[in-house]
Amino acid sequence: MLIVQKYGGSSLRNPERIKVLAKRIATLKERKKYSMVIVVSALGDTTDRLLRLSSQVCSDPPQRELDMLISTGEQISASLLTMALCSFGKRAISLTGRQSGIITDNFHTRARILSIDPGRLKRLLEEDNIVVVAGFQGITSESEITTLGRGGSDLTAVALAVALKADRCEIYTDVEGVYTADPKIVPEARRLKRISYEEMLELSSVGAKVLQLRAVEMAEKHNVHLYVASSFNPKRGTLISGRNR
């Protein structure tokens, strides 16, 4: 079985959390013998810090240079998580968006994925590697680095699941799934066991931050079932699919 998992920045906030996550992934690999692609976001608030840094040196930075800058956050996460996985005795390798074969248009800071060549990923998986991919990024046909907009690592995970024909695509974050409302604002909000693509698109379009809107659109287009859950506890999350039962 091939699964794609995406982990948000809160799951990678510091070395301790990275090691906990690595142990979790290594244990799953050992027990289930899955082929695994792990997509990661930047550590904690790294992207925000990089954007603040850019504003301190230039009031109106070129979009191309912003992509060069902020794409580094996910690369740091991918490399550190891979190191931690290796420390647990697992074969693992980190890849950038470019190395993963993700080709985008040239719309900097909010690029769209045009195609993915999964050849290298497949070869690495056949060698029993856990492949850790830096999310949120790709490259144009002219070899320019691009980023996919806020929440772009969600889109990376779904796109890779499509390209690899993965059996599952799991999105792990700091919430326990999709709720009927923001539980921080509405205490009586309840977690949904299942929700349709259409309902998730509606939630995303009005500001729900659980999943990037374009990631849900791609999942619906290619019928990729998404599972959203917390990376901090084992409570059951939310399945997003073509129908809500």
Burial of 53 per CB tally in 10 Å (0-12, 13-18, 19+):
exposed
For the stretch 69-89, pLDDT in tens is 999 999 999 999 999 999 999
Q: Is the pLDDT of residue 100 over 80?
A: yes
Adjacent-strand bridge partners of 103: 115, 139
Angstrom distance (rounded) from CA 80 to CA 73: 11
Number of helices (H) and strands (E), helices first, in the chain? 7, 12
For the stretch 131-172, pLDDT in tens is 999 999 999 999 999 999 999 999 999 999 999 999 999 999
pLDDT at 232: 87
For the stretch 171-225, pLDDT in tens is 999 888 998 877 778 888 889 999 999 999 988 777 667 899 999 999 999 999 9
Q: How many CB atoms lie within 10 A of CB 69?
A: 17
pLDDT at 209: 73
CATH 3.40.1160.10 placement within the chain: 2-174
pLDDT at 245: 47
Q: What topology does CATH give the domain 2-174?
A: Carbamate kinase (3.40.1160)
pLDDT at 243: 67
Q: What is the mean pLDDT of residues 27-54?
A: 97
Q: Which residue is listed with tokens 């995303």?
A: 204
| pTM of the shown model | 0.95
For the stretch 2-17, pLDDT in tens is 999 999 999 999 999 9
Q: What is the mean pLDDT of residues 34-57?
A: 97
pLDDT at 207: 65
